[in-house]
Every structure is written in C-alpha cells, then in structure tokens.
Amino acid sequence: MPEQYFPVFVFAVFAAAFPVVALVVFKLLRPDSHGGGAKLEPYECGIRPEGNARGRYSVRFFIIAILFVVFDVEVMFLFPWAVKYGELGLYGLVTMFVFLGILVVGYIWLYKKGALEWV
C-alpha cells in the first residue's frame, strides 16, 4: 500500500521544489543593476514627480469607480438579449424594459443622494 503513494510523494516534492529552484536560478541569472535612479521614478517620463504617488483619495472616487464597474456589468446583460431579441419576442422586450427601468430608478436614487458628485 505505501508504494502506491510514492509517485504522489515524488510529485509533491517536485511541485514544492520547482518554484524555489526557479527563483534561485533566475536570481543568479538576472543583472544586479536597476538601471539607475530613473528606473525607480514613477512613469519614467523624464518629468520629476510633484508629490507623493501615494496620495489620499476621497471615498467618492471609489464610489464612482464601483458604480462604473456595476454599470459595465449591467450593460453586459444587454448583449445576450440583443443577440436573441428575435427569438424572445414580446416577453423578452418587456423583461428588458423592466431591467432597464430598475437601472434607471437606481441611478436616479443615486443622483438624488449625491453619490455621483465628485466634490
């Protein structure tokens, strides 16, 4: 019975050793130089940065970003409907208008709450 586990053990050792060996080999092969201070500058565009790259952002920025992602996902639901529009008929049309109506009501609510304002 234990001899049946030998290939599993060999594979587990190989799987654990491969990343370690690869990291050591590539550490020995790579050049030690970073190319000077210009490589460590943000964007490498030749213009000195004016401030810290790790500035603080308002929570509203992230709310707008999340709303943008949610809007993109909601738009993705329109593509399958558009492809199968001819087969869905009146039922598909009504369900899509209900879906779009819920979206519009949600965005009107967000607008009235002030979530879409930057300042």
CATH code, domain with 107: 1.20.58
Is 13 inside any structural domain?
Answer: yes
- Give the pLDDT confidence of 83-118 residue by residue, as tens digits: 888 888 888 889 889 988 988 898 888 888 887 776
Is 16 inside any structural domain?
Answer: yes
Give the pLDDT confidence score for residue 49 in this predicted structure.
66
Query: What letter would DSSP give residue 119?
Result: -
Secondary structure class of 108 (helix, strand, coil): helix
Range of the domain at 9: 2-113
| Amino acid at position 9, single letter | F
Give the pLDDT confidence score for residue 43 in this predicted structure.
65
List phi, psi (to 5°) of 114: 85, 15
Contact 62, 114 (CB under 8 A): no
Is 92 inside any structural domain?
Answer: yes
Contact 86, 79 (CB under 8 A): no
Other beta carbons within 10 Å of 62:
10
If one counts the domains in the chain, the total is 1
Is 118 inside any structural domain?
Answer: no
Quote the CA–CA distance of 47 and 38 in Å, as a whole number: 10
Is 82 inside any structural domain?
Answer: yes
Q: Is the pTM of this model over 0.95?
A: no
pLDDT at 40 over 70: no
Is 73 inside any structural domain?
Answer: yes
Contact 118, 65 (CB under 8 A): no
Average pLDDT value over all residues in the chain: 82
